[in-house]
Structure 1
Amino acid sequence: MGSLDALKPGADPSRPVHVVFVGAGAVGCFYASRLHHPSHNIHVSLIARSNYKALTENGVQLQTHTFGDYVFRPHAVFPTVAAAAVNPNPSGAGPREWDYIIVTTKALPDRSDDSALIAPLVGPNSCIVLIQNGVGVEQPYRSRFPTTPIISAVTVISAEQTSPGTVRQNRWTRIHLGPYSNSASFSSSSLPSASSSSSPPGGQTSNGDNTTGALTATGSSPLSSQNTTAAAAADDKASIKRLQALGSQRAALLSDWWTRLGGIRDVDLAADETALQAIRWHKLCINAAFNPSAVLSGGRGNADMVRDPELRAHLDGIMREIWEVAPRVLGGGRGFPASAATPEKILKSTERNVGSKPSMLLDWEAGRPMEIEVILGNPIRIARARGVEMPRLQTIYALVRSMQEVKERRKKEGGKL
């Protein structure tokens, strides 16, 4: 399969482009439906689990605020990654090389390594797209696939799967796209401001977390940079530049297809890699404040929390801590853009969000694993590797992680939850 490197936005591909979404939840199904355009040589498939039967029989039934009601029938629906690694055409034979592998599953690095999960799908001309919450989600993929372009994506959308195969989009369609090379790594070997005193030998941070270099292939030493020659350093810079260029070009194609063909008007291309990470950290202000606090406060919704004076002050404190840390994490003194909503504005707008429960609370109530590490643990580790502590975030991280561990242990032992 040929590369898409020469293709420019505004022109349809001259050969079939195959896209597979790993995860067929509400967000994945919505964005997949706006990207699937067989008449323009763009074919989108889904890897589904619990809703596999419904999707194969009826497609995706979409009820959208933006585009009305319609049915999305994917090019193919697969029950597993292994099935998607084989040519989806019944008459075909041999492996399928996917041009885009778009991951929309919940990010749970403490439970599974999704970079290993998608490995059978990744070919020499593939591009990985991560539409997931939190920060540092890209690092496992970069470590496993050091030469594969990665696009990091941040969404602002309200969507839910009301029943298997039925998706309702309530509000918003915004998605931010940008290349990723290694800016969100929390490895001491890839952070210019990390000192040897805070990073013991063996690639461990001071709290004992094993990490790998962002551009270090799986199985190689993350400390190789200590013996890097000038030529090797130049090669690393060239590799980063190449990854950023490929990621930018592939992101531009996705933006064009989603906008020109899919009709989504608010697909934004980040100016550079740091700008995209700034968007991730800004969304973290909301997720890291409201998600764990809803669990720790006893199950209170977003609007309910901001109307309580003490909880409002608590939420404001977490957001301002992230706001202050972001420029030191992002580098070059770059913080959030002037247009970014401030903590005060976020709290004010949340007053109207009556009845809304954040995803972490919904997961807690349903007994599902929560996205604790990418929303709380990773930010703490990334900041710590740069010599910055986040005491407010660390406190709620320790508490909510302990709550989940205790709940799961009691469930396993057959005790009361």
Structure 2
Amino acid sequence: MGGLEALKPGTDSDRPVHIVFVGAGAVGCFYASRLHHPSHNIHVSLIARSNYKALTEHGVHLQTHSFGDYTFRPHAVFPSVAVAAANPNPSGAGFREWDFIIVTTKALPDRSDDSALIAPLVGPRSCVVLIQNGVGVEQPYRARFPANPIISAVTVISAEQTSPGTIRQNRWTRIHLGPYTNSASFSSSPGHTVTPTYPRGDDTTGALSPTGVVPHPASVPATTTDASPSALLPTTTHLTSLLADWWTRHGQIRDVDVADELALQTIRWHKLCINAAFNPSSVLSGGRGNADMVQDAELRAHLAGVMREIWEAAPRILGGKGFPAYMATPEKILKSTEKNVGSKPSMLLDWEAGRPLEVEVILGNPIRIARARGVELPRLQTVYALVRSMMEVRERRGKGGRL
């Protein structure tokens, strides 16, 4: 990444900066389109799957509330990580290392290990950026890439892919960026990565296992207490500022915010208050939307209880002072949700479509991280157990298994 360490925000690099997005869905394509500026030496490529043909032939058509309609033509579009790793420079000018690898896939650690997926892309000086839901999403990447800078990001955006290669951005563009060392570790000492004890077994998927079980060592390289992710903090903080500058100065996104590590994790846990309450409850309640749930007295009390449990536990988990006054309280969230008529949480949409659910990063990981800090989340654990059971029953039925 030679040269980027000395580059100051507000100035342009004197050599090409190459960025690849892993995940070409609505969120990935939108933020990639606002970061791609070849005239300023910033070149963004995409790794796509189902929409690869459309993106290759026509680029990305964006219909946005914030910037009007436009077409984004990436520097390159790859059909897989393997192709992007084998031929990172489609112009044939020789091998180069990706400066930034930005992951915008859905976080499903119980299904696959995305840290292993991107491993072929990561060079010694690459920076990994995670724009994913939930908490604890950074831990597998830190375990696998102990010497690489990692940036954690939380976004609030309403966007959807209406057809292959066509993205509609409805509302919001806010994104928070912050450096990550090891604050979301499942260890009781978040400042260090420790070598865990693994159960016997032949699972090599690298998926996060259910609460109380740790991943198999064949897929997640264990580091030792000698590792010092905090040594990466100055470099990571600088790279975070560069990304924020490019999205703001060139991409014209007005609500890009940079936070320190504790503040960024606090933002993740605040968003979790909403996601952990509304998402699984919409599935467990039989498919009711957000506004519909808060109009039901018993469901409203349940939602408030889950949010309040996280709200009160977060300071003990994070070692901070609690949520800042500007962040909406559970009561304000419930009140504002009354107006969100017709809205369905993403987990309900995934459930109705038969897709996997982000149950681990929204429910399982918070429970694991909290327990490692000596904090129990009984309401959240109940919701987690019920949703996981529903998923297992559906899968067994789908495979013709007997209950």
Q: Shorter-chain-normalised TM-score: which range? A: over 0.9
TM-score w.r.t. the length of structure 1 is 0.89
1:141: which partner in 2? 141
Deviation readout 1:280-332 (Å, 9 max, x if unpaired) = 0000000000000000000001111111111111101000000001000111x
Which residue of the other structure, out of 261, 265, 272, is the alignment partner of 1:284?
Answer: 272
Which residue of the other structure, out of 298, 302, 310, is the alignment partner of 1:322?
Answer: 310
Which residue of the other structure, out of 240, 249, 258, is the alignment partner of 2:238?
Answer: 249
RMSD between superposed Cα atoms in Å:
2.3
Deviation readout 1:12-43 (Å, 9 max, x if unpaired) = 11100000000000000000000000000000
Deviation readout 1:48-78 (Å, 9 max, x if unpaired) = 0011111111111100000000000100000
User: Counterpart of 1:336 in structure 2: which amino acid?
Assistant: F
2:197: which partner in 1? 202
1:262: which partner in 2? 251
2:263: which partner in 1? 275
Alignment partners' CA distance in 1, 2:196 and 2:95? 41
2:64: which partner in 1? 64
Change (3 A) 1:137 1:79: same
Which residue of the other structure, out of 344, 348, 362, is the alignment partner of 1:375?
Answer: 362
User: Counterpart of 1:307 in structure 2: which amino acid?
Assistant: Q
1:195: which partner in 2? none
TM-score w.r.t. the length of structure 2 is 0.92
User: Counterpart of 2:321 in structure 1: which amino acid?
Assistant: R
Q: CA deviation at 1:241?
A: 3.3
Task: State the SS of the aligned residue for 1:156.
Answer: strand
Alignment partners' CA distance in 2, 1:89 and 1:126? 15
Q: Is the 8 A contact 2:88 2:97 kept in 1?
A: no
2:391: which partner in 1? 404
For the pair 1:356 / 2:343, whether they are aligned, the reply is yes
Q: CA deviation at 1:3?
A: 4.4
2:376: which partner in 1? 389
Alignment partners' CA distance in 1, 2:17 and 2:90? 18
Q: Is the 8 A contact 2:140 2:220 kept in 1?
A: no
Q: CA deviation at 1:202?
A: 2.3
Q: CA deviation at 1:412?
A: 1.1
For the pair 1:15 / 2:15, whether they are aligned, the reply is yes
Task: State the SS of the aligned residue for 1:118.
Answer: helix
Deviation readout 1:135-155 (Å, 9 max, x if unpaired) = 000000000000100000000
Change (3 A) 1:121 1:200: closer
Q: CA deviation at 1:96?
A: 3.4
Alignment partners' CA distance in 2, 1:391 and 1:265? 39
Change (3 A) 1:206 1:265: closer
Task: State the SS of the aligned residue for 2:86.
Answer: coil
- Give the total of aligned pairs: 392
1:309: which partner in 2? 297
- In structure 1, stretches of 5+ residues that fail to align are 193-198, 226-231
Task: State the SS of the aligned residue for 2:153.
Answer: strand
Q: Is the 8 A contact 1:22 1:103 kept in 2?
A: yes
Change (3 A) 1:71 1:376: same
Deviation readout 1:238-262 (Å, 9 max, x if unpaired) = x333322111111100000000000
- In structure 2, stretches of 5+ residues that fail to align are 200-208
User: Counterpart of 1:97 in structure 2: which amino acid?
Assistant: E
Alignment partners' CA distance in 1, 2:72 and 2:402? 44
Alignment partners' CA distance in 2, 1:100 and 1:336? 30
Alignment partners' CA distance in 2, 1:359 and 1:174? 18
Change (3 A) 1:73 1:191: closer
Q: Is the 8 A contact 2:212 2:368 kept in 1?
A: no
Alignment partners' CA distance in 2, 1:158 and 1:207? 31
2:25: which partner in 1? 25
Change (3 A) 1:138 1:207: closer
Alignment partners' CA distance in 2, 1:412 and 1:277? 39
Q: CA deviation at 1:355?
A: 0.9
Alignment partners' CA distance in 2, 1:40 and 1:46? 19
Q: CA deviation at 1:335?
A: 1.3
Q: CA deviation at 1:99?
A: 0.4
Aligned ranges for residues 71-220 of structure 1 at < 5 Å?
71-92=71-92, 94-188=94-188, 190=190, 202=197, 208-210=212-214, 218-220=220-222
User: Counterpart of 2:80 in structure 1: which amino acid?
Assistant: T
Alignment partners' CA distance in 1, 2:98 and 2:81? 12
Q: CA deviation at 1:190?
A: 4.0
